[in-house]
Amino acid sequence: MVGGSTRTPIIRNRLRELFQKQPRVDMHPDLCVAMGASIQGGVIAGEKQTRTLIDITPHAFGTTSLDPYTFETKYHILIEKNSPLPISKSEVYYPLHSEQKQVSCKVYQGENEDYRENIELGKFSLDFSDSAKYEKAVICNFNLDLNGILTVTGTEKATGKKETVVIENSLSQNAVQLESAKNKIKEICGETDLIEEDSSIKLINEIESKFDTFSSDDRASAQELISDLKAAIDSNDAGEIETLTDALSDLKFYLESNV
């Protein structure tokens, strides 16, 4: 959780409901934003940087084709996950037979080899021209820009005839997959509370590992909060976990600032 507004309880509650996970709050939200702004300011000012931040795609994107020998539908990834943006990738596809009059292109988001397990974002069809009867081939181009707009174009190689589909905000179109995952979890676990305390436990471990660097008073304050937080985790009290994790996160920031 990054940014001062993420301290607002309604935002954390909404994210918890949406993802069925306890949001991570072990990083101080305001400090993280300030550090990021400082680093970016240094980059703009021309300061030497040991690391450079670049935009990447969190998902893979591809299309399908029919295997001419097995007639099975295969999934082909054109843009790999974690590719730097902007990016453009192309592949050439051919019809199964010379009399084929049309080719269809479906655009998917995901890394699963089984295309049916990925998210279909859009599709288009391209009719072959009569003049391309003896040289039928389609160049399929995937272009993903910094704004998350995915433009997929199919171009008839012989004539330059094109068909295009534009997918807005392709980098966050995972609602279908998320809903499907939530339904599968509910089928297995029923309506059990699925909140995870991973971030709270991680925060506890980080502070406990630094006890030796704290003063006796600071150590006592940290131990008291940690004890209460562990009790809340054991009782699965989501509200208390959130409140105590916030308090412990603030204490961690204070202690690290005074080391």
- CA R_g for the chain: 26
Q: What residues does each domain of the chain span?
A: 4-51+197-257, 61-174
pLDDT, residue 70, reads 83
**What is the pLDDT at residue 258?**
60
pLDDT at site 34: 87
d(CA 24, CA 250): 13
Per-residue confidence (pLDDT) for residue 252, from 0 to 100: 79
For residue 127, report the phi and psi dihedrals to the nearest 5 degrees: -85, 130
Task: Return the pLDDT at 194.
Answer: 43
Task: Return the amino acid letter for 67.
Answer: D
The span from the CA of 244 to the CA of 100, in Å, is 65
Cβ contact 201:233 at 8 Å:
yes
Q: Which residues contact 254 (CB under 8 A, 6 or more apart)?
A: none
Please list the pLDDT of the chain residue by residue as tens digits (259 residues). 888 778 788 888 888 888 888 787 777 888 888 888 888 888 788 777 666 667 788 889 999 988 888 888 899 999 999 898 889 999 999 888 878 888 899 999 989 989 888 988 999 999 988 865 667 889 999 999 988 899 999 999 888 899 999 998 777 655 445 555 556 655 655 544 444 456 778 888 888 887 778 888 888 888 888 888 888 888 877 778 888 888 888 877 777 666 5
Query: What is the side-by-side strand order in the sheet with 102-109?
Result: 73-79, 61-66, 102-109, 119-127
CA distance 134 to 128: 11
Q: What is the model's pLDDT at position 159? A: 87
Q: Nearest CA to 33 among 3, 65, 77?
A: 3
pTM, two decimal places: 0.52
Half-sphere exposure of 234 (CA within 13 A, CB side): 6
Q: CA-CA distances (angstroms) from residue 195 to 6, 20, 60, 225, 242? A: 18, 6, 28, 20, 11
The CA distance from 56 to 65, in Å, is 26
Give the pLDDT of residue 53: 61
- pLDDT confidence of residue 108: 93
- Backbone phi, then psi, for 241, in 5-degree steps? -60, -45
What's the CA gap between 74 and 197, in Å, rounded?
Answer: 39
Helices (H), ranges, the chain: 9-19, 29-45, 175-189, 198-208, 216-235, 238-257
DSSP category for residue 5 = G
* CATH classification number, 61-174, choose in 2.10.240.10, 2.40.50.660, 2.60.34.10, 2.130.10.10: 2.60.34.10
What was the pLDDT predicted at 191?
Answer: 46
User: What pLDDT score does 26 carry?
Assistant: 74
